[in-house]
Amino acid sequence: MTSYDHPTPTHGGPPGGTGRALRADARRNRARILQTAEAVFAAKGSAASTEEIAHKAGVGHGTVFRHFPTKEALLQAILEALADRLAEETRALVETGDPATAFFQFFTRMVEQSAEKKTVVDLLADAGIDVTAAKPIHALRQAIEELLANAQRAGTVREDVRVPEAMALIIGVCQASLHTSWGPDLQARTLAVVFDGLRPRHSR
Amino acid sequence: MTSYDHPTPTHGGPPGGTGRALRADARRNRARILQTAEAVFAAKGSAASTEEIAHKAGVGHGTVFRHFPTKEALLQAILEALADRLAEETRALVETGDPATAFFQFFTRMVEQSAEKKTVVDLLADAGIDVTAAKPIHALRQAIEELLANAQRAGTVREDVRVPEAMALIIGVCQASLHTSWGPDLQARTLAVVFDGLRPRHSR
Amino acid sequence: MTSYDHPTPTHGGPPGGTGRALRADARRNRARILQTAEAVFAAKGSAASTEEIAHKAGVGHGTVFRHFPTKEALLQAILEALADRLAEETRALVETGDPATAFFQFFTRMVEQSAEKKTVVDLLADAGIDVTAAKPIHALRQAIEELLANAQRAGTVREDVRVPEAMALIIGVCQASLHTSWGPDLQARTLAVVFDGLRPRHSR
Amino acid sequence: MTSYDHPTPTHGGPPGGTGRALRADARRNRARILQTAEAVFAAKGSAASTEEIAHKAGVGHGTVFRHFPTKEALLQAILEALADRLAEETRALVETGDPATAFFQFFTRMVEQSAEKKTVVDLLADAGIDVTAAKPIHALRQAIEELLANAQRAGTVREDVRVPEAMALIIGVCQASLHTSWGPDLQARTLAVVFDGLRPRHSR
DNA sequence: AATGAATGAGTTTTCATTCAT
DNA sequence: CATGAATGAAAACTCATTCAT
């Protein structure tokens, strides 16, 4: 959520000092647009109109374009904001979690959040962007790499599993969660299979 | 391919004896439209225009709407046709394959075909249709159920795995194959993890 | 005016024969759109909206885009239609006029029509198209070349005058006619100066 | 340049003695906006946005509208400024030039400057303003009248040529210089014809 | 039955103008 | 006074859908 508070990058200066709060409302608008857009795109896919987003955000639709010059830019911004949030969360898990279980916690958490993440994956699909290529994804990827390596060092994930398939499995299960009648039971059972496949043989 | 030849079920009876010749044309048109639409939607996503489909199918724009009253109906019809094809294929595997390996063969085959299936899943996502709700999916689902049951009877899949998570895993890996740089290696390693998770513990 | 009657170039066949008059109204619409657009652009410049043109032509604005995929295409079509008309007129003058005076008649006629030609010149200016490069202008240019050569052979225009300056003078006087309070007197006196400059010295 | 320094005539008196410093800023801003706008409009036509002008002038967007209540007003102001400049230049020629050739020099100079003047003429055309009606044109017109009269008195221009056609010819050749491939040769030959038409018969 | 012309609601984007800070 | 954020009218263009031929 805090990542929505960033002002436009052209205004790097801190708001403190002489109290130049000239664009407090602009910042607020930007944040509201991002928030609204994420929700709307999540609900209706990237085909949702900017007009609807503007309306639901309570601003004129010109204001959306003032903050994000194209629809594509808005999509990218959402992507980055979400990636930032996830990377932050993941990094916290890297630093404070139990290495043996943190990767599995993370995996589960991602799937739980999948309604939100649908946006990301959809946008990635629509934009034709390769997950591995998108810049803001990089931090997230690195955090995942660490979680995986830690789990392997702790002996809870097989040594021969590499990052690409780990990400593929995460993405896959998250996506699957969108296309079936997906209750907590089903989620648990699906993850159980995958987690079992990830564990070393001798550990069972 | 044969599944394209079904006329719309709403036109069950011919209006007269002499009407047959025209009916053949219409049937051919319907088949060509479906075929073309599947290819076009696969290539361009569901945002592709009906006009383009009509053009590539070599029919007038209006003809598409004569056969499918809305674009949505066309999407549904493609879905049904594809589900029919897959069900047929799967059924053949049920009847002629080795029970111990048929389920895994089927799973692999689905992922290999995922480029084609992308269409379906994308369309499902866009249309907000739940896979489990679509009627023609039922036959496919039944065939999968049999494959799974056979494998469990043959001891190559854990007894506690149920159909929903099996389908979720299939869908998930298929979807994952569309994002990330997905080569044969990655596909093999990802399936290895999932298959491993599906096998009974004592079999390893 | 007859140049408006051309059907879309994709339908080369003659309307006769079996009387397949399927698109009589399409042809009519195309002609009306062109006619209306020429008038509107002449009155308001090329900044006039396609919506206004559609409205004044009595068609939906989508129809304008069906016939001319972009506004630019519409401008070009007007240009070509006008060039066609002028070339035809000029050619007639080449064939039936008095070589000694035809060039001057043509020059005068162009200036008289300048209200109409404003469209052309404006469009040329707006589109950044070089007069000499536009294809449909070529026929017109050739006719002008002949008029000039004939006049020079008849001794009413100096031998050292070349086509480029002749065209420059025509364009210039036509344009000037748009920017001043331009009555018949002023037109006559301005042309008198230019015509005098064009005549050989010994002829006066 | 000096003509840019005039404040808007509607603000005749200063509100107080201490207000002078601010006024100087405002004057400078006004001048910079006019200068920038002339350049931008010259380069991009009157479709250029006020935002771009504000940016290039280094002022806020709102400042442009503080000085010129509408875009139209800005166009008018540019026109006046340019007319002032040209009138000044022309007046200098009246006072210091050779009466026999000054008019022709002036004519040539106008055509040479036509790239700059394109702005004006274009704006006039776009705005539908008649040259003869614009007030600041009057001074320029008077100067031209004198140049013409002097040339006629010196015997280098025919007695029967009046100011309107002289201006029409100037405007026409300037405009023509914007269309067609216009090199120094073509300019020279075109002016040669016009100048020849302007000279008395016995002088050749 | 097939065609494709017509339609107009909807989409993205731009920009002059207003107004709060 | 200066600023730039907000606004919404308007523009070009698309496309599913309808309908006359």
Domain ranges of chain A: 19-67, 78-203
Within an 8 Å CB–CB cutoff, is residue B194 touching chain A? yes
pLDDT at A127: 42
The pTM of this model reads: 0.78
Cα angle, residue A88 at apex, residues A82 and A94 outer, rounded to 5°: 135
Buried/exposed A85-98: b ≥16 CB within 10 Å, e otherwise: bbbebbbebbeebe
pLDDT at C126 over 80: no
Is residue D120 within 8 A of residue D82, CB to CB? The reply is: yes
Confidence band for C134, pLDDT divided at 50, 70 and 90:
low
- Expressed in angstroms, the distance from the first to the final Cα of chain A is 40
Between A184 and B121, residue with greater pLDDT: A184
Class of domain D19-67: mainly alpha
What tokens were used for B3? 């599944």
Q: Which residues contact A177 (CB under 8 A, 6 or more apart)?
A: A111, A114, A187, B168
Say what percent of chain B tops pLDDT 90.
45
pLDDT at B145 over 70: yes
> CA-CA distance, B178 to A128, in Å (whole number)?
10
Structure-derived torsion over alpha carbons of residues D18, D24, D25, D26, reported in degrees to the nearest 10 = 100
> CA-CA distance, A144 to A157, in Å (whole number)?
13
Closest CA to B158 of B126, B194, B118: B194
Long-range pairs for D25-33: beta carbons < 8 A, 24 or more residues apart: D26/D67, D29/D57, D29/D59, D29/D63, D29/D67, D30/D4, D30/D67, D31/D4, D31/D5, D32/D57, D32/D58, D32/D59, D33/D57, D33/D59, D33/D63, D33/D64, D33/D67, D33/D68, D33/D74
Class of domain D78-203: mainly alpha
Strand residues in D60-146 grouped as ranges (E): none
Is residue A193 within 8 A of residue B190, CB to CB? The reply is: no
Cα angle, residue B104 at apex, residues B100 and B106 outer, rounded to 5°: 115
Mean pLDDT of B40-68: 92
Q: Which of A163-172, D113-122, D144-153 has the lowest mean pLDDT?
A: D113-122
pLDDT at A61: 96
Chain B: partners with 3+ C-beta pairs within 8 Å: A
Q: Which residues contact D31 (CB under 8 A, 6 or more apart)?
A: D4, D5
Confidence band for A134, pLDDT divided at 50, 70 and 90:
low
Residue C142 neighbours by CB distance under 10 Å: 15
Residue in the structure block whose two tokens are 């949505």? B72
pLDDT at A24: 80
Residues of A 69-128 whose CB lies less than 7 Å from any atom of strand E: 69-72
With residue B184 as reference, give the H or E element that holds it.
helix B184-198
User: Residue C132, CB, less than 7 Å from strand F?
Assistant: no
Is residue A124 within 8 A of residue B179, CB to CB? The reply is: yes
Q: Mean pLDDT for chain A? A: 81
Closest CA to A87 of A141, A9, A149: A141
- A:B CB pairs within 8 Å: 125
What tokens were used for B125? 């996502």
User: Residue C19, CB, less than 7 Å from strand F?
Assistant: no
Confidence band for D152, pLDDT divided at 50, 70 and 90:
very high
What tokens were used for D78? 């540019």
pLDDT at A18: 46
With residue C125 as reference, give the H or E element that holds it.
helix C114-127
Chain A: partners with 3+ C-beta pairs within 8 Å: B
A78-203 and A19-67 share a CATH fold: no
Q: How far is C6 from chain D (nearest CA, A)?
A: 29
Confidence band for B129, pLDDT divided at 50, 70 and 90:
very low
Confidence band for D154, pLDDT divided at 50, 70 and 90:
very high
Q: DSSP of A66-96, one letter per residue?
A: HHSSSHHHHHHHHHHHHHHHHHHHHHHHHHH
- C:D CB pairs within 8 Å: 123
